[in-house]
């Protein structure tokens, strides 16, 4: 009897079953890239989402450079990047039990060149 009850009890370790939607670049400079996304819909959260994280890496090697944190927000700006370099970004949610949700597909952004034309 207890076995059947456990089957229907909600799990503390439930994982959001969709990645954050509509991930997009909102700004680019020579040394930074700003991104934004929509929150995971309530019906797909399956647990309390307490924040979002973003992997940032080099497009050329696929190596992760850093992980950015956006507590409950839906945007992130990575600074200290190299001008004229292509980076990838992947966003995912994090639950109150520190479980990672599904990761959004990689998308790419290139920082602008530092070259300034003087007239």
The CATH number of residue 32's host domain is: 2.60.40.10
- With tokens 């020579």, the residue in question is 30
115 lies in a domain?
Answer: no
Whether pTM > 0.85 for this model: the answer is no
pLDDT of 41 = 87
Give a yes or no: residue 5 inside a domain: no
CB neighbour list of residue 26: distance below 8 Å, 6 or more residues apart: 34, 35, 36, 75
Count the domains in the chain: 1
| pLDDT digits 0-9 by tens, 41-82 | 887 788 888 889 999 999 888 889 888 887 768 999 999 999
**Residue closest to 36 by CA, chosen among 63, 68, 8, 1:** 68
Within a domain: 67: yes
Q: Where are the beta strands (DSSP E) in the chain?
A: 24-28, 32-36, 49-58, 64-70, 75-79, 86-95, 100-103, 107-110
């Amino acid at each position: 009897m207890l076995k059947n009850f456990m089957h229907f009890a909600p799990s503390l370790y439930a994982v959001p079953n969709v990645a954050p939607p509509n991930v997009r670049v909102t700004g680019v400079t020579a040394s930074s890239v700003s991104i934004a996304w929509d929150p995971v819909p309530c019906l797909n959260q399956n647990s309390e989402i307490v924040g979002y994280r973003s992997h940032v890496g080099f497009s050329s090697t696929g190596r992760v450079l850093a992980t950015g944190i956006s507590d409950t927000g839906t945007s992130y700006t990575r600074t200290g990047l190299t001008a004229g370099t292509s980076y990838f970004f992947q966003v995912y949610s994090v639950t109150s039990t520190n479980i990672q949700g599904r990761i959004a597909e990689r998308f790419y952004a290139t920082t602008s060149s530092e070259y300034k034309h003087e007239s």
